[in-house]
Amino acid sequence: MTIIPRVTLPSGAAMPVYGLGTWRMGESVRRRADEVAALRHGLDLGVTLIDTAEMYGDGEAETIVADAVEPRRDGLFIVGKVLPNNASRRGTITACERSLKRLKTDHIDLYLLHWRGAVPLAETLEAFAALVKAGKIGGWGVSNFDIDDMQDLAALTGGSDCATNQVLYNLTRRGIEFDLMPWCRQHKMPIMAYSPIEQGRLLGHAALREVAQRHQATPAQVALAWLLRQDDVVVIPKATALAHVAENLAALDLHLNGEDLATLDQAFPPPRKATPLAIL
């Protein structure tokens, strides 16, 4: 069983740096059994973090997570998300209670605002604080927030309690390295990287194949190891094939050297100016 390092959140709580994503799960009845099996396989291999959202499969991804984790909820770290149109004070609490019911659990370890919407952030934060007080969530964070959004959040009462910002981040989406990531590091806030292999589109790139060959690894492992080399980045790849679940997890054992990083920087240059936050 793989031992997965943890990152410390601003609250002092610890979150695994590697988890299982569920985006696009729950969209097909025919794939449901494979999706449940993939999550269970990841748990069997030692993964304890699962990322999901009420939006995924219109709630069905959460029921898949429930089926996969039963009866071993204890010791797991579940991340959920509320849609911005549900993010009023009352709406956030109601949405969380629906998610808890679908997940068949009494608490969500980390609850994120999926992206910024029309509801004032202060109202959502009031709901998050109430949910923490009630023990229904362990903490809260945000997703798809750019640096101006984070600055607005930090200026609010309770804004410093934000645990993480989950954003699109991979070798082809490095824009956050210019300003957003430094800001988060200054505030000791880890980044959760979704779509870490760009939904598979990275895997055919020559630079990844070159680095993979040096280490007898796979391009997916290289893409994940590139992110995991940073001790304040959490990755949540999604896989539905059992072999891919195991392959991705093995990225934790791949250590890239200076030559590897130079090859990847040449193929995927770091940003030289501020750019709008990338969102899928």
111 as an active site residue: the answer is no
pLDDT category at 92 given cuts 50, 70, 90 is very high
pLDDT category at 7 given cuts 50, 70, 90 is very high
Condensed to tens digits (0 to 9), the pLDDT of residues 244-259 reads 999 999 999 999 999 9
Catalytic residue among 18, 56, 111, 169: 56
Q: What is the pLDDT of residue 115?
A: 98
- pTM value is 0.97
Q: What is the pLDDT of residue 167?
A: 98
CB 277 within 8 A of CB 175: yes
Compute the residue count for the chain. Answer: 280
Q: Which among 233, 223, 188 is positioned nearest to 19, based on CA atoms?
A: 233
Q: What is the pLDDT of residue 71?
A: 86
Please say whether the structural domain 13-202+233-239 has been given the CATH code 3.30.70.3270.
no
Q: What is the pLDDT of residue 1?
A: 73
Q: Among 48-52, 57-61, 276-280, where is mean pLDDT lowest?
A: 276-280
CB 267 within 8 A of CB 207: yes
